[in-house]
Structures are given as structure tokens and as C-alpha cells.
Structure 1
Amino acid sequence: MDISPAPHLSTFPDALRGKRILLCTESFGPVNGVSRTTLMLVNHLRANGADVAVVAPHTRETTFTPKQHELEAPNTTPDPANLPKNANIRISGYPVPYNPELSIVYPVRLSTLYSKSFGTLPPDLIYLASPASLGFQVMLQLRQQAPNRQVPILANFQTDLAGYCAILFPPPFSTFAVAAFARVQSFLFNHASVKTVFYPSRFVRRYLEAQQVQGKKLSLLQRGVDTALFCPSRRSEALRSEIAPDGEIVLICVSRLAGEKGFGFLAEAARELDARGLRFKLYIVGGNRNAAVVRDIKGLFGPLVKQGKVVFAGFCVGEKLAEAYASGDIFLHCSVTETFGLVVLESMASGVPVVARNEGGPSDIVRHGETGYLTPPDDLPAFVDRVMALANDDALRTRLSENARRQAEEATWERINNRVAWRMAETIEESARQRYKGLSRDDEAPAGEALPLKTTAFFEWPKDGIQARVVDVRLAGGMIAISATWVAIGAYLVFIKGGLWVKAKLGALCRTRGEDVGK
């Protein structure tokens, strides 16, 4: 059900104003490209009058400005009259050692999310941004509701969890995790309560189709870019002089520092560029709250860091990030796990041509030979050749820079977010028609009013008509599969966290002994 651009995407649907939307996300705020995309959608919906309650895990950095509800509070149903609109609800989870900004969410009741968000009434619609530990729980629990009480779901598939597991975990953990995610996602996304699954690129569509997700549910949803913030005019000669005081070509990479982001490939490319005699400075923008991971990534570049040819800038946001993009000459993108690659679009908006590995989302963004270059994912010489060609040809670089900016100007957040808003409005209307058609006398509700909240435990077997109905074996299997997946991954992450702690302690001890010997 891919939707082609239409004139109405320049307007927000009036039918969605005042509707209750429960938005569940695995991360929220300026954490990464996915969470920034979700934040843009939330701000757009709220600005146009929708009541959006956001549920997200705690992070080390507070990203919500309004007062937050805490699910650790006593489990009471708040007075709807006293509930603020656009509530932000933080829930607890286990921080992922390699990326503490993300968490594996602990079990939480769907009824608790409802009551903390909208009181005695359920939401009109549930939106799941990159469903994982939280989104899986929501989808599974919703299956237990009677069909006429199931709140419709829209899901945005933005994170390739299976791909991350394949890279981060050694066998047999990786094999188990990839298989488990495939089965769980297929089981959950194919349920009737899931009305639409947005996907950002052909790469993701092929993956979803391989999991037997129905084609009629799939809808292309690419991302927009803030072309006022990310633009060539942000270029800073002062920053360039700081990075490359001798006029070297400035190569830039913007990415969270993590093993799955292709830094091993980038380090090899940097060494090869140096071997070929290119005068360059590689400016890497991004970080990780885990200091051990940062040390490991920096260690990949070895002598190049000591020689000042590779510079790590750390986290940058807002105008500082935009300035960093625009001050580069060539953007290098080495990750092959991106479902879209927002940083690529932001770089193009900044007038910086891209060299990327031809895998994942960037394959749908970069127009080869026009706005940048795509190279075979494992062909290091081809990647380096393209960087060398751009670095040594000012005219080519200027042409691709101008084309990249023009392409980025075609992608606006307003149209992207209005596409989601219109699908939300259509889904709510369709669901209301179907629900009221199937109401029994006991469930009748006045036209235009939602059915009252029917609370559900985290996991509860059907109790009515036990002798007349058979327990849904697939539901039990899904619960077991999800639980086993997160228990296994959680156990492995605990093991990894312990290993990182030991490694840090040993490193500190070795440094201390080295200093003592030096004395």
C-alpha cells in the first residue's frame, strides 16, 4: 500500500486533532537518527492539536522538558480531568552496555500505560516507533483484547535488530538472536491489530517480506531533513582552520561510536588514504556513553590519531552539528546496518557529497554519480578510489555538492509527517467503523465515544468460557519466544558489561604500573 505523493500531504488532517495517540518508542530525544525522527513526528502532531502521550525508557540524559509521569508510582488510575495533554511517561529498563542511551524495557502492563496516559479511556491509536522490547510487549498484550476492543496499531520499522545482533554477538548467540527476532516479528506484525508497517527503504521491505509480513500492510515512509538548520551557509572557516590548519581536505563522518557502525572499515580506508599520500583530516562526530567502547573505536585508528590525521569531536547537536557537517568536504558513511541513514541526508542538505557503501538505506538516498558515490559494501579499494577522485577534483566536488543540496530540498519533514498523520486519521476512522459494526448489546457505546478501558494484566489467560474455547497456542509460543529472546540477550549483555568493567580495571592497573615504572 505504498502511497504516492499527493497534494493533501501539504495539510494536516482535521480529523486527527484532539485524538488520543499512544506513542511507544525505544528511545526519545536527540539520541540517534531514529529517535530524532520520532521527536520530529511528536512535535508535529502536538503542534497540530493531537494529544500524543509518549512512552519511552529512562536514559542518562533527560530529553523531556514537561513534567514526567513515573510508572514506578502507585498503580492507581489518575483522574482524567487532572491528566495533562501530551503526557511524557518514562519507564525502567536495563541499559544496553554498548549504548547506555538504549534500554531493554522491563515488563509493563498495557493497562498501566493506558491509565497513565488517558485515564479511563483507551487511546484512539497506538504508534510504535522501531518496536523492540517495549513495542513487542504492547503488540503481544493487545492480542489478548477482544477484537472490538483492540486499538489499531501503526508501526514504523526503523531499526534492523537482527542485523545488529548478527554483527555484535558471536555464534551461537547471533544465530539464535537473528532467528528469534525473525520469528517474533513475523508473528507480531501479521496480527490484524497491526494495520500499517512503515518502512524506510527497499532494503527493509525485502527483509519484512522475507518475514511474511503482508504486502498490503507495508508503506514506504522515508525521512525528511531540516534544510534551514542543515545548509551550506553553516560552513565555518574558523572550524576548518582548527581541524585542518594546513589546508588539508576535510573528511567527515557523523555516527554513534559503536561496533555495528562500520568503524573497522572506516579505519582501513583512512590508513589506505594515508598510504596513497592524500593530505586529509578525518573529523568524526559522535560518541558513546560507554567509555570502554569509545576507547576501542579510537584504538582502531591507532597512529593516525596520534598524528592528528583523525580527530574525534564527541557528541554534537543543533547548530554545532550543522556547522560540523557543512565544514566538511566529503562525507564518509561506512555502516551497512542502516535502515535509512538520516546522517547521509543531513550531509547532503549541508552541501557535502557522500561516499557510502552500497548496502541498506543509503542505497536509496545517494544518487550514484550525481550526489555522491555508492561502492560495493566489501570493496575497500573502490571506496578509497571514490574518495581520492572527489578529493583531487574541486569541480567534481562542487557539482555533486550542488546536486546533493537540491535533492535534500525535495525532502521536507512537513510532508513526511503529514503522510503519517493522514494514515493515522484513516486508520482511526476505519477501525471505528469496524468496531461499532461488531459491537454486542453489552458493549454498545454512543457514536463518537470510545469504549471504556478494560484493564489487562501483563499476561493473562482468557477466563470466560474455558470449556468452550481453546487457548491460543501461538500466543503462548509468542510470549515464550519473546521472553526467551530478551532473557538470552539480557544475560549476554550482563556478561559483556562485566567484561567491559574488567577490561577497564585492568587497563587502569596497567597504566598505573607503567607510571610507577617511569618514575
Structure 2
Amino acid sequence: MKVAIVTESFLPQVNGVVNSVRHVVDRLLRQGHEALIVAPGPGLRDYRGVRVVRVRSMAVPMYRTFPLGLPDRQVEEALAGFRPDVVHLASPIALGWAGLRAARKLGIPTVTVYQTDIPGFLRQYKVPGDAACARWVARIHKRSTRTLVPSRSAHAQLEALGVPNLHVWGRGVDLDLFGPRHRYPYLHQSWARRGGDGAAPTGRVVVGYVGRLAAEKQVRRLRELAGLPGTSLVVIGDGPELPWLRKHLPGARFTGTLTGADLAVAFASLDVFVHTGADETFCQTIQEAQASGVPVVAPARGGPLDLVEHERTGLLYLPSRPQSLTETVQRLVGDEKLRATLATNGLARVANRSWADVVDELVAQHYAGVIGHGDTLAAA
């Protein structure tokens, strides 16, 4: 099978869209398929032997390091030259629209993956136009042959916008990278010594956040955990909210961005993982924490509802209720047995969610399901 992937983001950027595309391409190659990547530039033009077509882009005002792809005739030329069986549109908004138009003109079916809630992103940054953006997102997905959503909440969101032919397709987790075996006692002990609350260092529970430090992740809620008795707070990641967090979390440890083996060790060396964002379409870091054998605390809204079964594979807090986050973390900090139970169950939940399994599902059910579809040529 020949698959062309038109993505709004790719290496050297590091984010959820890039990671998903990379894992999809890796598995396609391993299974003997051919692939082409179309992405906004600049960046590498070859990924593991796969051609990466770079198109014009502009910087996003709120994210200067994020190139936004622009309509470019290279997109249609690349697809026409490659002649794929299916076009995979990864989190389309701008370049994805160009990919959709080109695919429909060429009569190629599309599988469109909804991953980023752009209208919600605009609301978080108080940028006007979220309603118009939602209509634009709906327009793209309504014209796709098939749309894949990562969770039930994302399904409901697009269904309310009138998008048809929705299918839930979750994300995989790198089980070769993440695991409890990577827990590093020395690192855990060094983190546990930070806290300043008078607790014995060996008795402190290490509570950590992993992810981008940005407004849409609502990371300022970590302040609610500052100075929580018997805990040490670790913040793993980077982003525009870092200066604010450093100022208001003086006792926390900040590691900066970690990747690969360093990230796996850091995850496994936590005692509790906390996610603060209440507007996630999925939340990959929850799965990575579960794969690392770390109990999870997450908001009872959005994508986490598909990943965390309350009191079985993690704990859910009510993001709209004051003190709910603090009380939920306190409960877990004070109950070592519950932490162990949630960690065991969370690990079991992701045991069959490897990227290999998830991408094989994508190929067999969704790519194969649209090839030969009769609605591809409708006007975009």
C-alpha cells in the first residue's frame, strides 16, 4: 500500500502530532508499505528513507517556533507524482486543507485524523474567532472520506458540528521505551529531598507533571500542589509558562524537556503523575505514565475519560470544583496501597496498546475501508 501523509507539523518540531506521524511511518515501513510525507518547512527532507516534501510556511504569532503550512502547488504535484492509495491528513487546519483539495481533485480517498482542538486553543489564549475556526475544522472533516477521532469526547465534539463518518481510533504507546524497569532509585531520592516541608526525604512522595508548559495545558493549576505536605513536585517540560511556574513554585524541580530514554527514566521515577489540562482530545502522557507503572491523576473531562477508569486505572478530579485537584492528589499521596493498585491496573490497560497494534488497525480497518470509496471526487 502507498500512503501519503500530509501533516501540519513534523521534525524538528516535537509534539503529539509529530510523534503520531513518526510512529505511523515507522510501522508502515516495517510492514513493507511505501510512504510519502508532506510537511511545512524548514526541516529534514528524508526520514528513514521516506521523502519529506517541504512546503511554504509562516510562523504562528503565539508559537514562533511552530511553522504553519501554506497552500502550495507542491502538495498536488507531490501527490500526483507519488500516486498513493490513500492520503492521511494529520490534524489538518491549513496545509491539511491543501492536501484535502489535492486528494479530492486526484480522486484519492482521505483518512483525516482529528488530534488538536484548535478552537479550544484560541479560547485558552483569548484570541477571537474560535467559532469561525470550529466551522472551518468541520468543513475539512465533512469533506474527508473518513475522520478518525481519539476519544468519545472528540467524537461528540465533531458530531455536534455535523461531521459524518466518525470512527474512534486511539493512540499507541511505546512499550519498548516506557516501563517500570526504568525507575532509577537515585533520581527518585534526589527529587524526594526537595520540598522544604520538614518531611523526611525518604518519606516524600514525588508528584510530577510531564508535558508542554503552556496556557492550554492549564499548568498554573500546579500551584495548587505547591507545598503539599509529604510531597516533592517535579515539572518535566518547557514552554511559555515556565517563568511563571518558576516564580510561583519555588520548591519544585524543573528538568526542562526530556526525550527518549531520559524521559522514560524520569516518568518511571515518579510516584504520582498529574495532568492539569481539562481540554485534551486524548492525552498521550497519561498512557506513558501508565506504561511506566505510575498512578495517574487526571481531569474528569475530555480525552482522559477514555484512558482513566476512576479508582481502577487512576483517579479523576473535577476541574470545575475548587480544591478537587488538591484533595485527589492528597488522597493518593496518603495511600501507598492505592498507588500500587492503580499502577498495576494502569499498566495492564496499555499492555495491548503498542503502536504496532494501533497502526495495524489503522491500515486494516481505516485505510482499507476507504480505498475505492465513491465519494472522493465531491467538490472541496
Q: Residues 45 and 53 of structure 2 are in contact (CA less than 8 Å); yes or no, is this contact kept in structure 1?
A: no
Q: More displaced, 202-211 or 24-33?
A: 24-33
> Which of 1 and 2 has greater Rg?
1
1:279 maps to which of 220, 230, 238: 230
Deviations 1:406-444 (A, max 9, x none): 11213122221011111213322x24xx59xx9xxxxxx
Matched, 1:321 2:263: yes
Whole-Å separation in 1 of the counterparts to 2:183 and 2:32: 36
Matched, 1:387 2:339: no
Q: More displaced, 243-252 or 319-328?
A: 243-252
- Give, in angstroms, the shift of residue 66 of structure 1: 4.3
- What residue is the counterpart of 2:5 in the other structure? 23
1:169 maps to which of 119, 126, 141: 126
Deviations 1:340-383 (A, max 9, x none): 10000000110111111111111110110012111111223121
Deviations 1:46-100 (A, max 9, x none): 22122111011236xx566549xxxxxxxxxxxxxxxxx7311222312234434
Whole-Å separation in 1 of the counterparts to 2:63 and 2:236: 16
Determine which structure has the larger strand proportion and give its number: 2
Whole-Å separation in 2 of the counterparts to 1:243 and 1:64: 40
- Give, in angstroms, the shift of residue 315 of structure 1: 0.9
Whole-Å separation in 2 of the counterparts to 1:344 and 1:63: 30
- Give, in angstroms, the shift of residue 265 of structure 1: 1.6
Deviations 1:477-497 (A, max 9, x none): xxxxxxxxxxxxxxxxxxxxx
- Give, in angstroms, the shift of residue 114 of structure 1: 4.3
Matched, 1:40 2:23: yes
1:137 maps to amino acid: A
Count the aligned residue pairs: 370
Whole-Å separation in 1 of the counterparts to 2:278 and 2:331: 22
Q: Residues 358 and 375 of structure 1 are in contact (CA less than 8 Å); yes or no, is this contact kept in structure 2?
A: yes
Paired residue secondary structure (2:362): helix
Paired residue secondary structure (1:219): strand
Matched, 1:102 2:44: no
Deviations 1:456-482 (A, max 9, x none): xxxxxxxxxxxxxxxx9x96xxxxxxx
- Give, in angstroms, the shift of residue 118 of structure 1: 6.2
Moved over 4 A (4+): 62-67
1:133 maps to which of 83, 94, 117: 94
Do the aligned partners of residues 210 and 317 (structure 1) sit closer, same or farther apart at CA in structure 2, a change above 3 Å counting?
same
1:233 maps to which of 175, 178, 181: 181
Q: Residues 4 and 79 of structure 2 are in contact (CA less than 8 Å); yes or no, is this contact kept in structure 1?
A: yes
- What residue is the counterpart of 1:160 in the other structure? 117
Q: Residues 39 and 53 of structure 2 are in contact (CA less than 8 Å); yes or no, is this contact kept in structure 1?
A: yes
1:202 maps to amino acid: R
1:402 maps to which of 340, 344, 350: 344
Paired residue secondary structure (1:49): coil
Bigger relative contact order (CA 8 A; separation at least 6): 1
- What residue is the counterpart of 1:206 in the other structure? 156
1:91 maps to which of 9, 32, 55: 55
**Map 1:54-69 → 2, pairs under 5 A:** 54-58=37-41, 62=43, 66=47
- Give, in angstroms, the shift of residue 303 of structure 1: 4.8
Whole-Å separation in 2 of the counterparts to 1:218 and 1:28: 25
Paired residue secondary structure (2:54): strand
- What residue is the counterpart of 2:197 in the other structure? none
Whole-Å separation in 2 of the counterparts to 1:219 and 1:123: 22
2:244 maps to which of 299, 310, 320: 299
- What residue is the counterpart of 1:150 in the other structure? 107
1:348 maps to which of 270, 290, 314: 290
- Give, in angstroms, the shift of residue 300 of structure 1: 3.8
- What residue is the counterpart of 2:319 in the other structure? 377
Q: Residues 79 and 102 of structure 2 are in contact (CA less than 8 Å); yes or no, is this contact kept in structure 1?
A: no
Whole-Å separation in 2 of the counterparts to 1:63 and 1:326: 32
Whole-Å separation in 2 of the counterparts to 1:406 and 1:58: 39
Paired residue secondary structure (1:52): strand
2:60 maps to amino acid: V
- What residue is the counterpart of 1:113 in the other structure? 75
Q: Residues 148 and 167 of structure 2 are in contact (CA less than 8 Å); yes or no, is this contact kept in structure 1?
A: yes
- Give, in angstroms, the shift of residue 33 of structure 1: 2.3
Q: Residues 114 and 122 of structure 1 are in contact (CA less than 8 Å); yes or no, is this contact kept in structure 2?
A: no
Q: Residues 155 and 197 of structure 1 are in contact (CA less than 8 Å); yes or no, is this contact kept in structure 2?
A: yes
Paired residue secondary structure (2:172): coil
1:33 maps to amino acid: G
Matched, 1:244 2:179: no
Whole-Å separation in 2 of the counterparts to 1:301 and 1:358: 27
Paired residue secondary structure (2:253): strand
TM-score by length of 1: 0.67
Paired residue secondary structure (1:22): strand
Do the aligned partners of residues 351 and 152 (structure 1) sit closer, same or farther apart at CA in structure 2, a change above 3 Å counting?
same
- What residue is the counterpart of 1:504 in the other structure? none
Q: Residues 26 and 102 of structure 1 are in contact (CA less than 8 Å); yes or no, is this contact kept in structure 2?
A: no
Whole-Å separation in 1 of the counterparts to 2:236 and 2:63: 16
Which blocks of at least 5 consecutive residues in structure 1 are unaligned?
1-15, 68-84, 439-471, 476-519
- What residue is the counterpart of 2:33 in the other structure? 50
Paired residue secondary structure (2:145): strand
Q: Residues 27 and 101 of structure 1 are in contact (CA less than 8 Å); yes or no, is this contact kept in structure 2?
A: no
- Give, in angstroms, the shift of residue 395 of structure 1: 1.3
RMSD over aligned Cα, in angstroms?
Answer: 2.4
Paired residue secondary structure (1:339): coil
1:186 maps to which of 138, 150, 153: 138
1:93 maps to amino acid: S
Do the aligned partners of residues 335 and 56 (structure 1) sit closer, same or farther apart at CA in structure 2, a change above 3 Å counting?
same
- Give, in angstroms, the shift of residue 226 of structure 1: 1.7
Paired residue secondary structure (1:87): strand
- What residue is the counterpart of 2:225 in the other structure? 270
2:54 maps to amino acid: R
Paired residue secondary structure (1:137): helix
Do the aligned partners of residues 65 and 400 (structure 1) sit closer, same or farther apart at CA in structure 2, a change above 3 Å counting?
same
TM-score by length of 2: 0.90
- Give, in angstroms, the shift of residue 325 of structure 1: 0.5
